[in-house]
């Protein structure tokens, strides 16, 4: 089949084999056709409204040592911080009440201070604000996930990063791919919406493994998928490597939209870090979510996952008002509901 036939098949059936995915991912001439198809399917299944999720990066302290990430524990150049519970709540209140955001995302490295008791306390307090609440705080036990759910959390983000187990074990020393997969299963069992995702362009990651990644998203029936290019960080072991491209990241994202047509897909900050219009391009290639950062500027620069991340976020372009204008400029509007995954397939 030529690429147009494959795209038509994906639009109509929401299924492609691994070989077919590999064929589209390696074809350098099909990007625009793929982006347009994903844009059409996005409109059909989740509509023109964009969901804004207010992101609070409440601590950059992490016990893990992921080779790609600026927050890894061996990066001693980084100033570490942890917000107080009052500071976290004040940010959430500002986002909900003044900015009108309907979802709050609490994200942190894997630190030990915010244990189950402290997290549940914060969750309960934020849930008084009439918002949906997403957590992105790493690998926990099933009973912790259940406790968060009981406290009022609605969703959880935990990227699988790659489904290539050897690559995962090389890049995430001391961690286990199987344990991470178990966490995704446990999140589902706990009744939370499950968000996962990958980086594109990791050293040693090939097209075939990205095809596996997309099939994995479908297999675990993910509610949300975040995809971003890998961007090398100078203070990590991967400093000398080349990063992922915007085009390939968008292609993986567009194919994810075609195969999982009704899920939530963010236009990620890493895409914007690679190109000034990266997020807008993503919104026109299958994405329907943006996660504006509502953390105070003083701390943002320390949540340094990869270069270009915090500077992107503090630029006036990325302020909420500018974001609203950008969204209007492509004929889209901002949703006023919580933006849960509404299953349609």
Question: By the criterion CB under 6 A, which residues form the site for ligand 5AD?
Answer: 68-69, 159, 161, 199, 228, 230-231, 233, 270, 305-306
- Asked if residue 304 binds ligand SF4 (CB under 6 A), the reply is no
Nearer to ligand 5AD, 169 or 344 (CB): 169
Long-range pairs for 171-177 at CB < 8 Å and ≥24 separation?
171/66, 171/67, 171/68, 171/202, 171/238, 172/64, 172/65, 172/66, 172/67, 173/65, 173/67, 174/64, 174/65, 175/64, 175/66, 175/139
The yes or no reply on residue 66 touching ligand SF4 (CB under 6 A) is yes
Residue 64 touching ligand SF4 (CB under 6 A)? yes
Between 104 and 199, name the residue whose CB sits nearer to ligand 5AD. Answer: 199
Rounded to a whole number of angstroms, the minimum distance from the CB of residue 110 to ligand SF4 is 5
Burial 280-309 (b: 16+ CB within 10 A, else e): bbbbbbbbbbbbbbbbeeebbebbbbbbbb
Q: Which two tokens stand for residue 93?
A: 């209140």
The site partner of 199 among ligand SF4, ligand 5AD, none (C-beta below 5 to 8 Å per kind) is ligand 5AD
Tally: H helices and E strands in the chain: 15, 8
Q: Are 121 and 86 in contact (CB under 8 A)?
A: no
Q: Does 50 bind ligand SF4 (CB under 6 A)?
A: no
Beta carbon nearer to ligand 5AD, 181 or 233: 233
The entry of ligand 5AD, ligand SF4, none that residue 110 binds, CB within 5 to 8 Å by partner kind: ligand SF4
Q: Which of 67, 71, 66 is nearest to 82 (CA)?
A: 71
- Indicate which of ligand SF4, ligand 5AD, none lies near residue 64 (CB less than 5 to 8 Å, by partner kind): ligand SF4
Instruction: Name the minimum Å distance from CB 216 to ligand SF4.
Output: 18
Size of the site for ligand SF4 (CB under 6 A): 9
DSSP for 202-220 reads -TT--HHHHHHHHHHHHHT
Site string for ligand SF4, 135-174 (x = CB under 6 A): ---x------------------------------------
In the numeric block, which tokens belong to residue 264?
């939530």
Q: How far is the CB of 185 from ligand 5AD (least distance, A)?
A: 18
Give the other-Cβ count within 10 Å of 100's Cβ. 12
Residue 131 burial by Cβ neighbours in a 10 Å radius (0-12, 13-18, 19+): buried
For ligand SF4, which residue of 34, 46, 106, 109 counts as binding (CB under 6 A)?
109
Q: Which stretch binds ligand SF4 (CB under 6 A): 63-71, 142-150, 178-186, 306-314?
A: 63-71
Phi, psi of 135 (to 5 degrees): -110, 145
Neighbours of 345 (CB within 10 A): 9
188-217 footprint of ligand SF4 as x/- string (CB under 6 A)? ------------------------------
């Amino acid at each position: 089949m030529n690429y147009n036939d494959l795209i038509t098949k994906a639009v109509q059936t929401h299924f492609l084999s691994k070989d077919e995915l590999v064929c589209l991912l390696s074809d350098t001439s099909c990007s625009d056709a793929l982006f347009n198809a994903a844009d059409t399917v996005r409109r059909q299944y989740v509509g023109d409204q964009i969901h804004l999720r207010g992101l609070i990066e409440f601590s950059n302290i992490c016990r893990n040592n992921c080779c790609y990430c600026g927050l890894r524990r061996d990066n001693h150049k980084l100033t570490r911080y942890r917000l107080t519970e009052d500071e976290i709540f004040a940010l959430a209140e500002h986002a909900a009440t003044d900015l009108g955001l309907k979802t709050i995302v609490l994200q942190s490295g894997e630190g030990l201070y915010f244990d189950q008791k402290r997290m549940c306390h914060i969750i309960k307090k934020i849930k008084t604000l009439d918002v949906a609440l997403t957590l992105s705080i790493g690998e926990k036990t099933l009973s912790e996930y259940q406790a968060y759910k009981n406290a009022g959390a609605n969703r959880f983000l935990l990227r699988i990063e790659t489904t290539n187990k050897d690559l995962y074990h090389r890049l995430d020393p001391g961690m286990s791919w199987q344990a991470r997969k178990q966490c995704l299963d446990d999140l589902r069992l706990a009744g939370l919406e499950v968000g996962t995702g990958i980086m594109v362009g990791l050293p040693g990651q090939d097209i075939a493994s990205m095809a596996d990644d997309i099939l994995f998203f479908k297999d675990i029936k993910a509610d949300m998928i975040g995809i971003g290019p890998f961007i090398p960080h100078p203070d990590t072991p991967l400093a000398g490597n080349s990063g992922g491209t915007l085009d390939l990241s968008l292609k993986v994202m567009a194919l994810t939209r075609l195969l999982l047509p009704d899920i939530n897909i963010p236009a990620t900050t890493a895409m914007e870090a690679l190109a000034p219009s990266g997020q807008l391009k993503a919104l026109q290639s299958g994405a329907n979510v943006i996660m504006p950062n509502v953390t105070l500027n003083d701390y943002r620069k320390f949540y340094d996952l990869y270069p270009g991340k915090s500077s992107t976020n503090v630029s006036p372009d990325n302020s909420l008002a500018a974001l609203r204008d950008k969204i209007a400029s492509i004929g889209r509007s901002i949703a006023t509901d919580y933006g849960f995954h509404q299953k349609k397939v």
